[in-house]
């Protein structure tokens, strides 16, 4: 899809890299069947596919659980144990079991959404649209504020504005810093971290691999463009492959970081003395 966007606007003889006129063109898609609903774009279809994939994966892996697991069961169990033990229990501590369903849902959603970026015929990470990381961050925000209010009552906000255990001269300043940092910066940074990582990755992959394809194709089929552009296309392709491998790591890492930070925020709400 992006190959078409890049190829049609690209003057291969002139430029070193094909780039669309407006970078957001690489991130927006028209609705394939406009008479169905204007919001039912490719992005929406991919989002609706994520729970189908997650439920299908877990069902396939765990419908006949064996004591000595096969490969799929092992993979799914290791993802579950990562979220439940290493993130849920170790980070949140006692009382963390309640939050594992939410953490597992967030982890699997972000993981599959990120993996769309490296899936062959899709190549569009769903989490690169700000609404999705935005709303996931809003859920984490609501959960950790409500957990804190349930645990400490409304004194939670009092402790944010007037932190205990701090010299009296610093209390106002530290209060403002802590209030802004806890209630505003946390969800904002959670969303933007995931969003910007994925936007950067998608942009680099689209430009590098799309340019490589366009250049190599033009160099082979168009007689007036010499083999120099073809060689440049191969160079972009090699760089694109390197970035592709890096994006595989980034996809998993960003899902892990989002879940880990959600757990850390929940832990700081329900165990404030740490």
For other proteins, the closer CB: 149 or 196:
196
Q: Is position 260 an interface residue for other proteins (rule: CB under 8 A)?
A: yes
Q: What is the DSSP string of 187-239?
A: HHHHHHHHHHHHHHHHHHHHHHHHHHHHHHHHHHH-TTS-HHHHHHHHHHHHH
Size (the chain), residues: 274
Under rule CB under 8 A, residue 162 binds other proteins: no
CB of 97 to other proteins, least distance (A): 19
Examine residue 62 and tell whether it contacts other proteins (CB under 8 A): no
> Could you say whether residue 264 binds other proteins (CB under 8 A)?
yes
The CB density around residue 263, as the number of other CB atoms within 10 Å, is: 28
CB of 179 to other proteins, least distance (A): 18
Question: CA 193, CA 199: separation in Å to the nearest integer?
Answer: 10
Binding mask 74-103 for other proteins (x = CB under 8 A): ------------x-----------------
Q: Which stretch binds other proteins (CB under 8 A): 75-83, 95-103, 176-184, 250-258?
A: 250-258
Q: Which of 199, 208, 209, 251 binds other proteins (CB under 8 A)?
A: 199
Instruction: Pick the closer one to other proteins by CB: 23 or 238.
Output: 23
> Residue 210, Cβ neighbours under 10 Å: how many?
26
Instruction: Give the integer Cα–Cα distance in Å for 240 and 93.
Output: 42
187 within 8 A of 137, measured Cβ to Cβ: yes
- CA 25 → CA 22, 28, 35, 48, 87, distances in Å? 6, 6, 22, 22, 37
Instruction: Pick the piece of the chain touching other proteins (CB under 8 A) from 58-66, 141-149, 224-232, 259-267.
Output: 259-267
Binding site for other proteins (CB under 8 A): 23, 86, 189, 192-193, 195-197, 199-200, 253, 256-257, 260-261, 264
């Amino acid at each position: 899809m992006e190959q078409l966007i890049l190829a049609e606007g690209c003057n291969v003889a002139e430029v070193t890299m094909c780039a669309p006129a407006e970078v957001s063109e690489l991130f927006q898609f028209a609705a394939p069947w406009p008479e169905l609903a204007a919001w039912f774009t490719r992005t929406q279809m991919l989002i609706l596919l994520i729970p189908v994939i997650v439920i299908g994966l877990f069902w396939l892996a765990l419908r006949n659980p064996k004591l000595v697991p096969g490969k799929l069961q092992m993979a799914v169990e290791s993802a579950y144990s990562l979220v439940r033990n290493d993130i849920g229990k170790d980070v949140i501590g006692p009382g963390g079991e309640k939050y594992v369903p939410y953490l597992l849902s967030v982890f699997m959603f972000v993981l599959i959404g990120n993996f769309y970026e490296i899936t062959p015929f899709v190549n569009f990470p769903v989490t690169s649209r700000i609404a999705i990381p935005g709303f996931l961050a809003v859920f984490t925000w609501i959960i950790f504020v409500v957990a804190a209010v349930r645990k400490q009552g409304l004194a939670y906000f009092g402790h944010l504005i007037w932190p205990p255990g701090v010299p009296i001269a610093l209390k106002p300043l530290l209060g403002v810093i802590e209030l802004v940092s806890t209630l505003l910066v946390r969800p904002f940074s959670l969303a933007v971290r995931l969003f910007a990582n994925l936007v950067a990755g998608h942009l680099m992959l689209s430009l590098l691999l799309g340019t490589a394809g366009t250049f190599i194709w033009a160099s082979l089929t168009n007689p007036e463009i010499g083999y120099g552009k073809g060689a440049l296309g191969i160079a972009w392709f090699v760089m694109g492959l390197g970035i592709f491998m890096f994006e595989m790591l980034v996809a998993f890492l960003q899902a892990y970081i989002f879940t880990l930070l959600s757990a850390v925020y929940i832990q700081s709400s329900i165990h404030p003395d740490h």
